[in-house]
Amino acid sequence: MPEQEIIRDTRTVRADRAAIAEGARILAAGGLVAFPTETVYGLGADATNGAAVARLYAAKGRPTFNPLIVHVADRAAAQRLGKFDAAAGALAAALWPGPLTLVLPKTDDCPVAELATAGLDTIAVRMPNHPVARTLIEAAGRPLVAPSANRSGHVSPTIAAHVAADLGGRIDLILDAGPTPVGVESTIVACTSGQPVLLRPGGIARAAIEQILGRPLGEPAPARADAPQAPGMLASHYAPATRLRLDADNVEPHEALLAFGPSVPSRAANAVAVLNLSRAADLVEAAANLFAHLRALDRAGARVIAVMPVPREGLGEAINDRLARAATPRQSNARA
Ligand code: TXA
Ligand code: MG
């Protein structure tokens, strides 16, 4: 699509009742509206409108083989889209609304545009737990696709200004409700084969899911960069432009430091900029700060961002997953 076709006047407005109602009207007319969820800001479009979904892919610059999550306001709407087995039903009952996405077999009369599911016979469904997201979906009266509201390959936005920086001029409206509380994207679990499989660690820790299931989650097949049939598992994602050096216990000259916890790495005085994910070593706080700190350090003019180790328990699994993806050299065509 030629660039001029996606140039728009993008307004950022406080997400009050009137603004949400306007957002719902824009969505119903096939437009693009960014809105807060409890995880990160999403870029919404009418999931049942193929042309709107096509515009959304163009605005993000996203490879169309990477399918989207469909957001709903209630369980009945979810059941019109995907088939719930016992495990999916138990997870939805316990964790919705909340930062959990379920990949389910599509229903036979699923109204979602083929483009949104990239031609797969499965569909990713999520019921967000943010008052603005829920009110917007209800007011729009239809399911909304909502990938993270960033240009493809950038880190996800946790404040409205991140959305404006990435998508200003390409979308219709940004609903601003301040920082998103969780800070990393939803946990994605596939319930398509009897054994639930963790596709993406995220805002709900693995242990919480396994406790509800009463058994361990399965692991997906290993990632292959050239395998669009394994969406969500592409190795390079969420990448800042500056290279990351993980598990750093020192700071080299010209490096910025992404710290975690109260301790100071050796030669910390070298750092051209320092941000701490959580001085108290609180993983929930660290998740909420992760993407904003990566964006800020990316602008610090450092040659490399040195990242201190973050423990892998709880939300630390999702934080380490995003850091590993951000540190993986980019592939030209494989981002979300
Ligand atoms: O927290 C979130 O989930 C945020 C907020 C805005 O809701 N959304 C989000 O969407 O992270 P996105 O598009 O950035 O990531 C969706 C992921 C992709 O990795 C995609 O490949 C995967 O979900 N996905 C979507 N449909 C799938 C399917 N049928 N099977 C496997 N993976 C799927
Ligand atoms: Mg994304």
Residue 5: per-residue pLDDT: 53
CA of 317 to the centre of ligand 1 (A): 17
Euclidean distance between CA atoms 119 and 18, whole angstroms: 36
Torsion of the alpha carbons at 195, 201, 205 and 209, rounded to the nearest 10: -10
Contacts of 233 (CB under 8 A, 6+ apart): 199, 200, 220, 223, 227
Beta sheet of 304-307, edge-to-edge order:
243-245, 304-307, 255-259, 274-276
- 302 pLDDT higher than 90: yes
- 127: nearest Cα among 157, 155, 93, 152: 93
CA of 124 to the centre of ligand 1 (A): 7
CA of 60 to the centre of ligand 2 (A): 10
Euclidean distance between CA atoms 43 and 149, whole angstroms: 4
For residue 120 and ligand 1, the question of a CB distance below 6 A is answered with yes
For residue 140 and ligand 1, the question of a CB distance below 6 A is answered with no
Residue 240: per-residue pLDDT: 86
**276 pairs with which residues across the strands?**
259
For residue 49 and ligand 1, the question of a CB distance below 6 A is answered with no
**Regarding predicted confidence, which is higher, 147 or 194?**
147
Euclidean distance between CA atoms 94 and 296, whole angstroms: 36
- What token pair was written down for 109? 């009369």
Euclidean distance between CA atoms 187 and 196, whole angstroms: 12
Among 68, 102, 171, 186, which is best to mutate for testing ligand 1, by the most ligand atoms less than 8 A from CB?
68
Q: Rounded to 5 degrees, what angle do the CA atoms 36, 235, 246 make? A: 85
From the number of C-beta atoms within 10 Å of its C-beta (0-12, 13-18, 19+), residue 165 rates as: middle
Mean pLDDT of the chain: 91
| Distance in angstroms between the alpha carbons of the first and the last residue of the chain | 19
- CA 156 to ligand 1: nearest atom: 14
For the CA atoms of the chain, what is the radius of gyration? 19
Residue 335: per-residue pLDDT: 43
The string of pLDDT tens digits covering residues 83-96 is 999 999 999 999 99
- 179: nearest Cα among 295, 300, 314: 295
Residue whose entry in the numeric block shows the structure tokens 């919480």: 208
CA distances from 134 to 28, 36, 127 (A): 15, 10, 8
**Regarding predicted confidence, which is higher, 336 or 101?**
101
Q: Is the dihedral of CA 217, 223, 228, 229 positive or negative?
A: negative
Please list all protein residues whose beta carbon sits less than 5 angstroms from ligand 2, which is an ion.
148, 336
Lowest mean pLDDT among 56-65, 97-106, 314-323: 56-65
Q: Rounded to 5 degrees, what angle do the CA atoms 6, 10, 13 make? A: 155
Residue 315: per-residue pLDDT: 96
DSSP per residue over 81-92, as a string? HB---HHHHHHH
- 334 pLDDT higher than 50: no
Which ligand has an atom closest to residue 184 CA?
1
Residue 234: per-residue pLDDT: 52
The residue type found at 307 is V
**Mean pLDDT (whole number) for 14-25:** 98
Q: Where are the alpha helices (DSSP H) in 205-279?
A: 206-213
- CA 231 to ligand 1: nearest atom: 21
- What token pair was written down for 54? 């096509």
**Regarding predicted confidence, which is higher, 233 or 306?**
306
Which ligand has an atom closest to residue 185 CA?
1
